[in-house]
Structure 1
């Protein structure tokens, strides 16, 4: 907003007209006096600039502004009225420098009703009400006002008043006041930026903590299970994601070789959505599922019970979960499974060199209270490879807008399986191709997780000692 001039009477300088034009005053005295005044003004402006560069407390800086202005141009009083970011008068930060008792003015400003409304500072008609208020308070005085402007937004108003008459307002005074106003606008804008940075830093810390907790909840390494190799990786789109996979012994009390030969559960899931809410729900489901696993129930019953337990919490969050649950017995190589609308894992058969999907009917977790699930089963043979994955893999978008899709994933899995690679190299190559498809340095739009299970090709039956009578 341009400077607005109301009726005013402002001192020109510390020099009176008599001093300037008295025949007894010498030209050197005049120059010395002007030099002292110029030096003083430079020191005041330098002090304000230093305060702007080094201030850590905006309130103290704003309190300093009216004092500088009154000394800089030799007026009796100055009032600074800053505005909130939403345009309301910042009542707590109104500062006044005056020779007389003007606390009543500050009190009246703090209860100025129009200034309590959002957008007040952005309406010229509303600002005119504030100008009129000041003019009425100093009806016998000269008043000058200007706005604090930063990044095109009005951040406050400065009012300068003086009761002395027969004084005039010079261009130098006008420039000095506008300079102080501009510096003050920058100070307010800088404080807003600092507060925003602090909010982001706080959120980043929370995200980092959430990501650390989630990373601890996901398995830090794959377990040793007799007869198979495992490799797994979750790559969240954000610091905290909604993808989930886990490996759980159905009899956690077993240790060592007995645990390796015991039954294990493999699960992969995806909470709809991304970020912190999805991560929190994933954490909740992990705890529920781990409690269910030790029951020893078949996969379809596990999913049924999990749906019942999580239904209320998921309904309140308006989110659902896809989940593929399976259990594996190393002794028989039998894999049982049930699916809650998750992407069916891909099974590459070493004998036929063909890929099929492991799937069974089932609704999303959290969708319906009476959802039923079907248990399927298969026998894994030596050399077979099973790939669990989330839709963040197949739905990943390339630079041309094309999707990675299931067809590409099947082709790549078949290519790497034929090469005889073990689980970890297959997983690494799949993610490398995914990254190349999305583009170097590009972020995934959704969390992407993959688990590779490969049955060892040199499996032998357990030795059975013959007992001779």
Structure 2
């Protein structure tokens, strides 16, 4: 493929003193060259202005072949852009030509080219050569010049300029002008794709923010008042939307006021395997199922059994499982019944013995198999006891050195906090402070981390008062 030569200008022979006619010719030649140079600069400037000003990429791409043909003084120009994956961008093919035969047929063939519908077409040299040959076949006697449109090392399209009068003879200036048009086009296409990507990210961010708001509303925004215990809870998601779940559910929601505070409450801690939006959606689904199950009044082991059967199909399709520790607490007797679906066993600080034990019961993950049995445990909480529910995002959190926070460090931190006789909120704050110091203040957690602290306040021992006999003396 060659190029049309610029208009040839021959300097007059200087065989002696210049005549007035020769001087006039030189002046006209200089003015012509200066005018042509100014015209070319104006054309390139107009394309640069359009690139900066047009918010509609289609309008800019329509302008490209017009400017290319006028700048290079050819009969026509053809722009064949590629999409981000390398396929021919059929909707953005633009052709400008003065009375070119079969113009519409060429556009139709380019749009229906089978190979052009495949990803990676634009980066395949063999396919680009076949594209060039196709264009050449429709203008067989024309001079044709083609150059690639490249941005950030990726092929963004192909620009053709042609002249039906015959072969083109290009000067270096012509080549540079053609390449400048191609480069400006590549930048425009790249900028538009970056803009579209940024807008997609903004939409996703908005959706995530909405999801995070909904999830935050589903998690309790404050701990309920339950007679005889002090509660504190916090969830710190690794992403905007997480898979951790904790809840406080009255088993008899119709009760109000003091009767509700004295009624039985379900205390739940769970974790959907995975992170982000999918885990958050499954957590939301399970929350609805569990809250419905709580109304049945069944013991914890039966609650988990029924929940496992209800969630089986949805979890199987998502290829995810759920760990869940379910317990119910009766304030009148201080008895806590519990069942565990392979969740981290809560830690129980026994104030009288000054030691920590685990609350655990046998049970499989929710969603692992349809028929699963769950063990039932029971414990009576005493004055000063502290119960810590948590997710594995706490114990699996990596520190600066690469070590995990692990259960041993959590037990040590809980023991120190409990020995100080703090409130449930103070204990929770102390545990998160210890976790933050271990992970690093400026580092993001890799997984959602949630903790719930339940404390039975210490009994208030009133001082004994000596009885005075106030009967009158005889």
2:46 aligned with 1:47: yes
**Equivalent residue number for residue 12 of structure 1:** 6
Which 5+ residue runs of structure 1 have no aligned equivalent? 1-5, 461-469
Given the superposition, is the C-alpha separation of residues 458 and 369 from structure 1 closer, same or farther in structure 2, using an over 3 Å criterion?
Answer: same
Write the mapping of 1:69-218 to structure 2, written as runs, cut at 5 A. Answer: 69-101=68-100, 102-165=103-166, 168-218=169-219
Q: Higher mean Cα deviation, 333-342 or 408-417?
A: 333-342
**Residue 122 of structure 1: how far off its partner (Å):** 1.4
Indicate conservation of the 8 Å contact 1:208/1:239, yes or no.
yes
Q: State how far apart, in whole Å, the 2-side matches of 1:19 and 1:161 are.
A: 28
**Residue 112 of structure 1: how far off its partner (Å):** 2.9
Given the superposition, is the C-alpha separation of residues 367 and 186 from structure 1 closer, same or farther in structure 2, using an over 3 Å criterion?
Answer: same
1:212 alignment partner, SS class: helix
**Equivalent residue number for residue 401 of structure 2:** 400
**Equivalent residue number for residue 258 of structure 1:** 259
Q: Higher mean Cα deviation, 264-273 or 127-136?
A: 127-136
Indicate conservation of the 8 Å contact 1:19/1:25, yes or no.
no
**Residue 259 of structure 1: how far off its partner (Å):** 1.2
Given the superposition, is the C-alpha separation of residues 105 and 20 from structure 1 closer, same or farther in structure 2, using an over 3 Å criterion?
Answer: farther
1:198 alignment partner, SS class: helix
Indicate conservation of the 8 Å contact 1:11/1:164, yes or no.
no
**Residue 322 of structure 1: how far off its partner (Å):** 0.9
**Residue 17 of structure 1: how far off its partner (Å):** 4.3
**Residue 378 of structure 1: how far off its partner (Å):** 1.1
Size of the aligned set, in residue pairs, is: 452
**Equivalent residue number for residue 17 of structure 2:** none
2:229 aligned with 1:235: no
Indicate conservation of the 8 Å contact 2:271/2:322, yes or no.
yes
Indicate conservation of the 8 Å contact 1:11/1:74, yes or no.
no
**Equivalent residue number for residue 425 of structure 2:** 424
2:31 aligned with 1:32: yes
Q: State how far apart, in whole Å, the 2-side matches of 1:167 and 1:405 are.
A: 75
Q: State how far apart, in whole Å, the 2-side matches of 1:113 and 1:339 are.
A: 58
Q: State how far apart, in whole Å, the 2-side matches of 1:279 and 1:213 are.
A: 10
Q: State how far apart, in whole Å, the 1-side matches of 2:155 and 2:312 are.
A: 51
RMSD across aligned positions (CA)? 1.9
TM-score (norm 1): 0.92
TM-score (norm 2): 0.91
**Equivalent residue number for residue 346 of structure 1:** 347
2:339 alignment partner, SS class: strand
1:26 alignment partner, SS class: helix
**Residue 138 of structure 1: how far off its partner (Å):** 2.2
**Equivalent residue number for residue 311 of structure 1:** 312
**Residue 121 of structure 1: how far off its partner (Å):** 1.7
**Equivalent residue number for residue 469 of structure 2:** none
Which 5+ residue runs of structure 2 have no aligned equivalent? 14-20, 462-474
2:2 alignment partner, SS class: coil
Q: Higher mean Cα deviation, 184-193 or 159-168?
A: 159-168
Indicate conservation of the 8 Å contact 2:11/2:26, yes or no.
no
Residue by residue, what CA displacement relative to the aligned partner does 1:376-396 show, whole Å, maximum 9, x if unpaired?
Answer: 111111111000001111111
**Equivalent residue number for residue 464 of structure 1:** none
Write the mapping of 1:214-225 to structure 2, written as runs, cut at 5 A. Answer: 214-225=215-226
Q: Higher mean Cα deviation, 122-131 or 351-360?
A: 122-131
Given the superposition, is the C-alpha separation of residues 178 and 443 from structure 1 closer, same or farther in structure 2, using an over 3 Å criterion?
Answer: same
Given the superposition, is the C-alpha separation of residues 408 and 311 from structure 1 closer, same or farther in structure 2, using an over 3 Å criterion?
Answer: same
